[in-house]
Amino acid sequence: MPEKNTDDKSGERIAKVIARAGLASRRQAEAWIAAGRVAVNGAVISSPALNVTARDKITVDGAALPGRARTRLFRYHKPRGLVTTHADPQGRDTIFRALPKHLPRLISVGRLDINSEGLLLLTNDGGLARALELPATGWLRRYRVRALGRVTPEALDRLKRGITVAGIHYGPIEATLDREQGANVWLTMGLREGKNREVRKVLEHLGLKVNRLIRVAYGPFELGELGDGAVEEVETDELRETLGPELAAQAQADFTGPLEGEVQRRHPQVRARETREPRRMTGKAGAVALRGPREARPPQGDGERQERAGPKKLHRPRDRRGGPRPSRPRA
């Protein structure tokens, strides 16, 4: 059976539909298609340049694609020392290995590098992630920054006109000098593009060396009192209202669909992924405190003590022999 006309503008690209179903990322889905593992209406396809609709029957490795789940968004307080990726070639710890196992398959809205911390939005909907990442969305990302060196308010004010560093142009940046602390300065910065390592590169251009970077807000979503390593879901009604009809339509978000557990998500690829990617799970529903082998961490913000929400003490689960469970799964 021949493949569908790739010029058909109706429906969605096949890799996007597979990603929305929670089986894999779009890139992984495209690799599966190239390997001949995906079929549409009984015919194996070889190109991801194919649009499908709800009427099409899609199978991966012979198993039917599970139905689409409701669009969900989570606030996550990313700690330092974790990489924002599903798999790291260097073997470093990733945020997705640290997330509780009961969560659906999630992707990040943008990234924070390994030495940055603070608010990271996670979603089960690739369309929503891409919509929120676009500079055209106009959402301001706000950061608290500690940097070694000195800078004048006048130099920071000039960033409002944009700046070019090493041939890369960065758009307008809002930056204020909060205070000086020893050899360091504390700044508050806001930007709308979020290019790779933008804050660090711009401040380095001004003679500052960033030694702490905390994202405190992404558009209307704020870090607030979310504890270090904790994750909390944004309620569906709040998410719908915050996005508004225009942005929700752009993302093709679905706020009425079932949750993942109600979709009967028992596709072999899901079971295989759960076996390959064991995750640490601690804490309670809602705000979940996550643990990992890290050094003692300084308080959030400007170094002053702050009260943290959530349980004051968490006990590590024990293995069957009664000893503490290792931080990494045994081979």
pLDDT in tens, 66-119: 777 889 999 999 999 999 988 888 989 999 999 998 898 899 999 999 999 999
93, part of any domain = no
Distances (CA, A) of 297 to 43, 228, 277, 290, 324: 54, 9, 26, 14, 22
Asked if residue 98 lies in contact with residue 82, where contact means CB atoms within 8 angstroms, the answer is: yes
What pLDDT was estimated at residue 262? 60
157, part of any domain = no
Across 169-179, average pLDDT: 96
HEC letters along 166-184? CCEEECCEEEEEEEEECCE
Number of domains into which the chain is organized: 1
Find the domain containing 47 and state its range: 12-64
29, part of any domain = yes
CATH number for the domain including 44?
Answer: 3.10.290.10
97, part of any domain = no
What pLDDT was estimated at residue 225? 94
What pLDDT was estimated at residue 182? 96
**% of the chain residues with pLDDT over 70:** 75
* Average pLDDT of the residues of the chain: 81
- Model confidence over 223-236: pLDDT tens digits? 999 999 999 999 99
- Does residue 33 or residue 53 have the better pLDDT? 33
What pLDDT was estimated at residue 69? 81
| pLDDT-wise least confident of 141-150, 199-208, 245-254 | 245-254
- Model confidence over 37-52: pLDDT tens digits? 999 999 999 999 999 9
321, part of any domain = no
Candidates 248, 273, 136; CA nearest to 192 is 136
237 as an active site residue: the answer is no
20, part of any domain = yes
169, part of any domain = no
Q: Report whether pLDDT(9) > 50.
A: yes
Asked if residue 203 lies in contact with residue 44, where contact means CB atoms within 8 angstroms, the answer is: no
- Does residue 261 or residue 58 have the better pLDDT? 58
Tell me phi and psi for residue 7, to 5 degrees.
-85, -5
Q: Report whether pLDDT(286) > 70.
A: no
| pLDDT-wise least confident of 9-13, 123-127, 136-140, 325-329 | 325-329
Asked if residue 276 lies in contact with residue 222, where contact means CB atoms within 8 angstroms, the answer is: no
Given pLDDT bands bounded at 50, 70 and 90, which one contains residue 23? confident
Across 226-254, average pLDDT: 94
**% of the chain residues with pLDDT over 90:** 54
Selected catalytic residue, list 113, 157, 178, 254: 113
What pLDDT was estimated at residue 108? 94
Q: Report whether pLDDT(267) > 80.
A: no
210, part of any domain = no
Q: Report whether pLDDT(147) > 80.
A: yes
